[in-house]
Every structure is written in structure tokens, then in C-alpha cells.
Structure 1
Amino acid sequence: MSSTSDRAPDPRPARTRAAIFAAARDLTSVDGEVTVNALAKRAGVSRAAFYSHFSGLDDLMGAMFQQMFDAAWERGRAYAAEKQSLQEAVQFGFGMFVAYVERHHAFLRGALDWKFSHRTYLILADTMTKLHGEALTRLGDRVPVRQRTESAGRSIAGSELAFAAQWLVETEQQAAAGEALDATSLLETILIFVPSWYTGIGPEDPIAAAELLALCRTAAADEAAEG
């Protein structure tokens, strides 16, 4: 007779969490205000089930971003292994971030109106800072001596978030009208203003943002299908 410890883990919590993620990802600009009730209804779960996984909408967004960061970082590592260039992997990481923002515009634009605590924003910024910090460490001597600190990663993460938030606001009416969104300009802006020693893109070098974003859209879609 099998013991309790031999039983397969209950798949229901994982299914509930996945359903909530899917509900948030599938939001459109006509769905109205983003609330726990609306997300739970779309996901086919109860409010209690939602709160058994997330403390609120800010916690949900943090979890979704963390999932995206982890996936983008792993994809970036694989891309670096293929291309033999960490700086190309850095570019790919920015592309994955922008592809995610473009794909989940409605959810993220709605998130800008939520009453986030300052601590929630700091957790998000800290996560991005750590990811950039790992890349900066790997770059080694290519990082200017005076910028070999955590502040370099925090500066990059902060500008990345600010540019993304501005793009979400600027394209709100376009999304509401049902027009297709193209975040190529967002990716190009990020790559222009991030230090050239980080991306390997010189001040006068062409920026193939459209091609990079097309590649990252495919990767992001594959990630969503797998998740």
C-alpha cells in the first residue's frame, strides 16, 4: 500500500496559478478596470483561490514579471552561447523585455493605475538590477572602472522601466482603438540610451531594433505556449 508521501503532487494549485496568469495575459483594452474580481472571473476561479496564490494585483504583476525575467535571462544565456557574445545576449534581453511589454500592453497599462506601494516598485527594480548586475559582472573589464557598482545596474533598470511606462501611456489610445502595436521604437530608444559598452552598439552604429524584436516576439510566444 502506498504511503501519503508516495502520492503524486496535487496539480490543482499549479493549474489555478496558470489560469490566473493566462487571464491577466489575455486582457484587452476593452475589458475595463483590472480588478481581482475581474481576473478571478476570467480565470474561472474564486476570489479565495486568487488570494491563496497572490496577496493582490501588485503581487500578481511582480510574479508575472519574475517569470518573464527568468525566461528572458535563460533565453539570453542560450543566445549568448550560440552567438559567443555576451553583449548580443544583453541586446536580446532588452528585446525580450520589450516583446513582453508589447504583448501584454493591456495588463501592464492597467497596472500603471493600480495603487502600488513604493516597496512593490522597489522589489521590481531590485529584480531587474540583479539581472543587469550579473551581466555587468560577466562583462568584466569592458565595464568602466567607475561604473563597476550596483548603481550601474540600478540606473539601467530604472531607465528601462521609465521608457516602458512612457510607451504604455503614449500608445493607450492606439490600443483602445484596436490598432496593432509595434514597440520597435521602445526597443530602439532603450538601446540608444543604454551605455554602448553594455550593448556593444556604438553611438553611430545602426540599430536593428525591428529585426531583434521580431526574433524576441517569436521567443516570447514560444515561452507563453510552454507556460
Structure 2
Amino acid sequence: MPSSTLITIALASAGYLSGSLLGAIWVCRLWGLGDPRRAGSGNPGFSNVLRAFGWRPALATLVIDAGKGMPVLWLAGSASLSVWAQGLVGLSVLLGHSCPLWHRGRGGKAVASAFGVLLMLATPVALICAVCWFLLAWRVRTAAVASLATALSAPLLSYWLVPPMSGVICVFSTLVLIRHAFNIRTWREHRRETVAPALADPLDEEDALEDRRDVGTERQRLDSD
């Protein structure tokens, strides 16, 4: 087996394991805030932590989730792996966040993790997507809308700015869209809500659109563990 293949497999495995470390859960535990899966929307992500616990733990969550895949991606770049091999390593980080080994497969939407991966693989695309996300979230008061719009625009931006990465970024965007499938289904059923006006920053990926009965079911499963 070629050495590059072995390196890719090793880094992809490490990427999945590092991606499985959910920043929201660890930050909330360290700060004594409880399990974010039992608060707000029940999503273990940056925006739910912001809504439920404030900007300080949310910022720490964002830094961890965006940064946890950077070491393996740096190693992938240093090893001069192909674009698709580096993309596989990045995808493994997102899969780890979405279906984490450490948390019985109950992960987040992979938006912050995707931002961190893009910073390493396609920095201009990541920065533009970040600006677009915050502007859209501020304007429409629904972070899920911002996440979906950004996921759809990222492949177009990559085709323009970093063409070699456009195929890889299409895969990343597809995963983010799949993770937001419930939000899409909710819109189709015309049951959309808006984030509470009291929020200065509209940074909730799920609260605007989650079906409370489904969240209650998730909490019951957690209580039974």
C-alpha cells in the first residue's frame, strides 16, 4: 500500500476522533452549565450554547469546534497529500462532529467545524462564508437560514476562488445540508418560527425551526441513558 494512502487513512482516523470531541458539551461541563443537549434546541453546537448560556461559552465552543480539525489538516498539507485526500481528512472531521464516537452518535450540525476545515483548505472561501453567515443571521434572525444559504453558496465561491477545491467543498456542503434536513422539512410544512427578538445576535441554528416534541424525545433518550 502506498505511503500516501497509509498517511491519509491515519489522518482521516485521527480527524474523525478529534471531530468527535464536541466543544459545546466539554465547555458546558467545565463551566458547570449542564448538558447543552438538554437546553434550548438540544443541539450541541455554538449557536444553541449562545442562546442558552451566553456569548462567553459560545465563543469557546466556536473556537474548539472550528479548531479541532486544524492539526490533522495541517499535517495533511505538510505531507503534500492530494486535494481529494486532504478533503477526505476534512470530511472525517465533519463526520466526527455529526456522528461522534464519544457521544453515542448524537452530534451537531457541523457548521463551525466546516468553517475550520475551510479555513485550512480554502481560506478565502471560509472568510467570505463567515461574513455572509453573520450578515444573514443578523438580518433574518434565523441562523439555520444563514447556515443553509452559506452551504449552498460555498461551492460557487470555491469554483470562482479555488477551483481545485470545488468538488471537495461540494461534498462538505452536502453534509451540512443533510444535517439541516429537519429544518428544510419544517419550512416545507410552513411551521417556521423566528429567534426571540431579545437576542442581540441571531446565532441559533435550531431554535427557530425545531419541533419541540422531537427535542423532548431526544431529552427523554438522554435521561434514560
**TM-score, reference length from structure 2:** 0.34
Q: Which has the larger radius of gyration?
A: 1
**TM-score, reference length from structure 1:** 0.34
